[in-house]
Amino acid sequence: NNQLDVVDVSTLTRPKLLTSYPMDNPRGLAVKDKKLYLCDGDSGLKSYDVTDWETIDKNQLAHIKGFSTYDVIALPNDLLLVIGEDGFYQFKIENEKDLKEISVIPVERD
């Protein structure tokens, strides 16, 4: 299913699905400081405020389109590393609503 699932794992032997949100093609994700960074395939990179798990879909902060994304790593120095279909991207995340691409290492596929 193309969805983001919120799961309560407070009892590890009995995880409980709390809710699901529709997505286009979700892949990797990272959470930092109550912000969710989600690679949504051909729909690009999305970020959400996840302070309240019941309203994630209403709290999208940013959406960067125009590239296909696979995985994301949030670093402690306000940086995101994003693996895309065509390269390795670095974003500055100081302003949660304005993620800034600061570098890209292009990758060509045979």
**Per-residue pLDDT tens for 5-43?**
999 999 999 999 999 999 999 999 999 999 999 999 999
Residue 109: pLDDT band by 50, 70, 90 thresholds?
confident
* Residue type (1 letter), 64: I
| Cα 38 to Cα 12: distance, rounded to the nearest angstrom | 24
DSSP-based three-state secondary structure for 14: coil
Residues composing the chain? 110
pLDDT for the residue 23: 95
In whole angstroms, what is the distance from residue 38 CA to residue 67 CA? 13
Share of the chain above pLDDT 70, in %: 100
User: What does the mean pLDDT of the chain come to?
Assistant: 94
Neighbouring C-beta atoms of residue 65, cutoff 10 Å? 10
**pTM for the whole structure:** 0.91
Question: What pLDDT shows up at residue 108?
Answer: 85
Structure tokens at 54: 């019941």
Contact 73, 66 (CB under 8 A): no
In the three-class reduction of DSSP (H, G, I as helix; E, B as strand; rest coil), residue 30 is classed as strand
